[in-house]
């Protein structure tokens, strides 16, 4: 990077849920590189709306008919918000209910797990 190599991030998730708890995500790794090189990455993934816009174009999907489902308020749901789309925050992963209290980002819908969402649809 200091010699001209591009710094590209595929997402800025700080943590990833696993069976052993939260593990460092791509965003956490990027922060180490930023601190070392003093360079910011070009983010081509969430929470950037560009990737979602491209995905909608690729499948000929209408934003008003699409739901973004994710477990991370700060990347998945923020990406939906930036794209003008409805969102479903699932509390079985990274973000928890208390995160909503201290954030201006609000999902359209929220459930404890996907089975709860499926039961609401039937």
Give 61's pLDDT tier (boundaries 50, 70, 90): confident
pLDDT > 80? residue 2: no
* Full-model pTM: 0.82
pLDDT > 70? residue 119: yes
Q: Please tell me the distance from the alpha carbon of residue 47 to that of residue 74, in angstroms, as a whole number.
A: 7
Tell me the percentage of the chain whose pLDDT exceeds 70.
98
Query: Looking up tokens 């601190």, which residue turns up?
Result: 35
Which ranges of 59-105 does DSSP label H, i.e. alpha helix? 78-83, 97-101
pLDDT of res. 120: 85
Residues in CB range of 62: below 8 A, 6 or more apart: 56
16-51: pLDDT as tens digits: 888 898 899 999 999 999 999 999 999 988 888 888
pLDDT of res. 110: 96
Tell me the β-bridge partners of 91.
none
Q: Please tell me the distance from the alpha carbon of residue 89 to that of residue 75, in angstroms, as a whole number.
A: 11
pLDDT of res. 45: 87
pLDDT of res. 5: 87
pLDDT of res. 103: 93
pLDDT > 70? residue 112: yes
């Amino acid at each position: 990077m200091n010699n001209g190599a591009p710094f590209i991030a595929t997402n800025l998730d700080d943590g990833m849920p696993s069976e052993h708890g939260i593990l460092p995500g791509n965003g956490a790794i990027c922060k180490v590189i930023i601190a070392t090189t003093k360079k910011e990455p070009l983010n081509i993934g969430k929470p950037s709306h560009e990737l979602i816009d491209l995905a909608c174009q690729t499948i000929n999907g209408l934003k008003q008919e699409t739901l973004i489902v994710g477990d991370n308020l700060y990347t998945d749901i923020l990406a939906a918000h930036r794209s003008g789309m409805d969102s479903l925050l699932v509390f079985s992963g990274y973000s928890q209910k208390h995160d909503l209290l201290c954030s201006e980002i609000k999902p359209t819908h929220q459930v404890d797990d996907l089975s709860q969402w499926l039961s609401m649809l039937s």
